[in-house]
Amino acid sequence: MTGLVGFALPSALGGAIKGCKPHLSANGYFATRGNEFLDRYAARKDGNWPMAKAAFLKLGGNGDAKMADTFSKLPDEAVKPFVEAMVGELVGSEIKPDQCKAIERGVRLLAPLPPENTAELVSFIFAMTSDSRSGKSSALPLCKAAS
């Protein structure tokens, strides 16, 4: 999950910035530092791709094994843009205007962290919210992390 988050975060945040731009201040974090933030995360995408691809195929295989098999046979350079576009569009289309200030604040709070820590933190939050002890479960099939 951490690899997928690390790979997809620039696309997801790009979608959030695009979707929120009309609803936020021209002097806010996204407008003034959003591209700098995205560039730092995008620089690590290729390193995250092997784990991201494995997670993407696992997630895809849960719904349609034939589709996962097809994607697994495609070259990485064909799959990467698909995953990026899908993530960016999904995130951008799901954001409601009243969420934009909170999203911008969250990104600003994460900005001092190195990208690898942010990916780990987001994965940790997914894992904690899907923990059977919390009484909640995630739709994401997460692997248990080593302690």
Q: In which region does residue 135 sit, left (phi positive, over 0), alpha (psi from -120 to 50) or beta (all else)?
A: left
Q: What is the DSSP letter of 144?
A: P
Cβ contacts of 104 within 8 Å, gap of 6 or more: 20, 24, 28, 29, 30
* Cα dihedral value 92, 98, 99, 100, nearest 10: 70
Residue 22 has pLDDT above 90, yes or no: yes
* Domain assignment of residue 109, given as a range: 2-134
User: How many structural domains compose the chain?
Assistant: 1
Instruction: Count, in order, helices (H) and strands (E) of the chain.
Output: 7, 0
Per-residue model confidence as pLDDT tens digits over 48-107: 999 988 888 887 656 667 777 787 888 989 888 888 887 777 777 888 999 999 999 999
Is 68 part of any domain? yes
Name the pLDDT band for 31 (thresholds 50, 70, 90). Answer: very high
pLDDT for the residue 143: 53
pLDDT band with cut points at 50, 70 and 90 for residue 147: very low
User: Which pTM value belongs to this model?
Assistant: 0.75
pLDDT > 90: percent of the chain: 35
Residue 145 lies in a domain: no
Is the residue at 60 inside a domain? yes
Tell the residue number behind the tokens 């995360």, with chain if given.
Answer: 41
Note whether residue 19 is domain-resident.
yes
